[in-house]
């Protein structure tokens, strides 16, 4: 999963940190990258690991990583997630503290363009934009509002003048309250994430997998998720998010 972080001007800074005892402690090796949306552009924000005011923001990035690594990959819910999480710096997170409609559209478009420019291996090319309604990271963007915004965003990409957004990028929504309209409730864990998020995937990755493999994902996930009860999966999901596994990330 990839989200490229580009500072734009100035020198590039590389830092690493591990979440221990409610604090991020510098260490090595780095695993993924983080950037914040500021003044209509993506920008490095070192305070995400250096000040208490961004502690909850750091936790949200960490929990989203834990979800990728210890839930999605561990239970084989996405065929290309494992290679991404196993590849250092292949996962990058864009954190959008203000989820206004305009910001959501502009930020996701820019993230997608940077992602496309920076990707080297389509097999590890997946990005995440984490949507938050305030700097404290309150998860107060209701599912229906989020999903309707996503549908509008997807339409904008499909009709966009930029061929990169129109032809080379695939978006996928995830939300902590995701619920399919007609399917069994347990299948919702295919699309549940700690925070409202949009993944950005290289269309080439999906094309290389082929339509049969893509269709098989849904069938495979249904078999996996139906093997346990909703309550069991909820417990597994919660434990994965709180995991103390790999917790390193790099800002640059």
Q: Any idea where the domains of the chain sit in the sequence?
A: 15-246
Q: What sign for the dihedral angle of Cα 130, 134, 136, 138?
A: negative
pLDDT at 13: 26
Maximum distance among all Cα pairs of the chain, rounded to whole angstroms: 52
22: left (phi over 0), alpha (psi -120 to 50) or beta: left
pLDDT, tens digit (0-9, with 9 covering 90-100), for 123-155: 556 678 888 765 455 566 899 999 999 999 999
pLDDT at 84: 80
Confidence of residue 174 (pLDDT cuts 50, 70, 90): very high
DSSP letter for each residue of 13-34: --EEEEEETTEEE--S---EEE
Q: How far apart are CA 237 and CA 54, in angstroms?
A: 24
Cβ count near 66 (within 10 Å): 21
Enumerate the β-bridge partners of residue 95. 36, 130
Confidence of residue 20 (pLDDT cuts 50, 70, 90): very low
Q: Are 147 and 22 in contact (CB under 8 A)?
A: no
Q: Are 78 and 217 in contact (CB under 8 A)?
A: yes
Residue 238 vs residues 80, 165, 192, 232: alpha-carbon distances, Å: 23, 34, 11, 10
**Residue 92 parent element (H or E):** strand 91-96
């Amino acid at each position: 999963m990839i989200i490229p972080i580009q500072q734009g001007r100035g020198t590039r800074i590389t830092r690493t940190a591990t979440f221990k005892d409610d604090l991020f402690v510098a260490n090595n090796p780095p695993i993924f990258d983080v950037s914040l949306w500021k003044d209509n552009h993506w920008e490095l924000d070192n305070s995400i690991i250096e000040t208490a005011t961004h502690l909850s923001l750091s936790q949200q990035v960490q929990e989203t990583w834990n979800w990728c690594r210890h839930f999605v990959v561990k239970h084989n819910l996405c065929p290309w997630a494992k290679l991404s999480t196993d590849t250092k710096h292949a996962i990058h997170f864009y954190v959008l503290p203000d989820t206004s409609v305009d910001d959501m559209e502009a930020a996701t478009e820019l993230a997608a363009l940077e992602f496309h420019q920076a990707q080297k291996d389509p097999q590890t090319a997946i990005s995440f934009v984490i949507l938050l309604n305030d700097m404290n990271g309150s998860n107060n963007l209701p599912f229906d509002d989020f999903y309707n915004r996503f549908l509008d965003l997807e339409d904008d990409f499909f009709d966009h003048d930029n061929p990169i957004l129109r032809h080379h990028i695939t978006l996928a929504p995830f939300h902590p309250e995701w619920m399919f309209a007609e399917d069994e409730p347990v299948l919702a864990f295919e699309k549940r994430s700690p925070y409202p998020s949009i993944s950005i995937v290289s269309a080439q990755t999906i094309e290389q997998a082929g339509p049969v493999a893509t269709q098989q994902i849904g069938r495979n996930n249904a078999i996996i998720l139906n093997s346990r009860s909703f309550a069991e999966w909820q417990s597994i999901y919660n434990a994965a998010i709180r995991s103390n596994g790999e917790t390193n990330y790099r800002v640059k």
